Amino acid sequence: MASAQVLTNLLMTPCKMGKFNLSHRVVLAPLTRQRSYDNVPQPHAILYYSQRTSNGGLLISEATGISNTAQGYPDTPGIWTKEQVEAWKPIVDAVHAKGGIFFCQIWHAGRVSNAGFQPNGQAPISSTDKSLTPQIRLNGIGVEEFDPPRRLGTDEIPQIVNDFRLAARNAMEAGFDGVEIHGAHGYLIDQFLKDEVNDRTDKYGGCLENRCRFALEVVEAIVNEIGADKVGMRLSPFANYMESNDSNPEALGVHMVESLNKYGNGILYCHMVEPRMKSLGDIDETPHSLVPMRKAFNGAFIVAGGYGKEDGNNALAENRTDLVAYGRHFLANPDLPKRFELNGPLNKYDRSTFYLSDPIKGYTDYPFLETTSSTTQNI
């Protein structure tokens, strides 16, 4: 019976990821929650992340800005100031106290921003000066307008690369086990990668290799700063978030993962969004697959995108991935690995509370499987 359970519940089997010994394969996906007031992580995040920590489990933080030009949404955390680094420390300590492995996702929103988020009300920066069309807000209420971006000059790009490097250094100072570079979902790095957005004619635009140049310069700088064994990267070659389609997403994905193999002994992991996740919250049938990228990448492979327990186990059984990242289910079920282990029922998530500023509602008040208080429950 025990062996049959292992075969059908591969999510709960251990996994070696570089120097990290994971006790299961259920990963907390990076989830923007907009509760870091004035871009500073808050004490209520200590409970939020520790609730979702299991001994030997991998957590990836919400997207965390690398500089004062990186923001695109209210109250998202940063890691470019001393105050922010100090605010992250007790959160990271709480995860480590329960045996978790914690990576900080570092990002720059690029043109997915407005002058109101930018220093001195300046234009957001991007690979392009093409504006985004208005988009439905993350909370589904109303429409977000975006100011026209300013195309980065070639001479400015090294400074942005350096901002990523310093953010990685700061993450290590805060105690994180490593960083995940956010190269997905139409944000700054993706704005260079995708040919629908990148209309440059210099060495950062045009052919595939040129469009990947900025992303790989960021990877190289961070690897040189903290070591390849502490670096992961998130990519979404098939997604069209924020008008970020690419004409040949499979070629883009394969080229990127093959390139990631070249730094040190290869970076620790690649975290890729399934082709079926074309846009925010929607799952579409598609003939495309991440398998070519899985086969080309030498490190640990993480998949994300609308997974439940059954198809997560199937992805592992078919060797399409090493780990599966869960977002909405983990948000609503702080003890998600335990529920998967015991085949327990799942709480339903309330989308209307995803982006509230409330420090409790829809954040730390989801119940655990057992009746023990969520403030003390261990999984």
How do residues 208-256 score in pLDDT, each as one tens digit?
Answer: 999 999 999 999 999 999 999 999 999 999 999 999 999 999 999 999 9
Per-residue pLDDT tens over the stretch 147-190: 999 999 999 999 999 999 999 999 999 999 999 999 999 999 99
Amino acid at 331: L
Task: Kindly report the number of other CB atoms within 10 A of residue 219's CB atom.
Answer: 25
> 9-14: long-range contacts (C-beta < 8 A, 24 or more apart)?
9/313, 9/340, 9/341, 10/313, 10/316, 10/317, 11/309, 11/312, 11/313, 11/316, 11/324, 11/337, 11/340, 12/337, 12/340, 12/341, 13/316, 14/56
φ and ψ at residue 177, rounded to 5 degrees: -80, -15
How large is the average pLDDT for residues 191-216? 98
pLDDT of 57 > 50? The answer is yes
Packed helices 44-51 and 82-97: angle between N→C axes, nearest 10 degrees: 40
Which residues form the catalytic set?
Answer: 187
For residues 102-123, average pLDDT = 98
Answer positive or negative: Cα dihedral of 217, 219, 223, 225: positive
Proportion of the chain above pLDDT 90, given as a percent: 89
Q: What is the pTM of this model?
A: 0.94
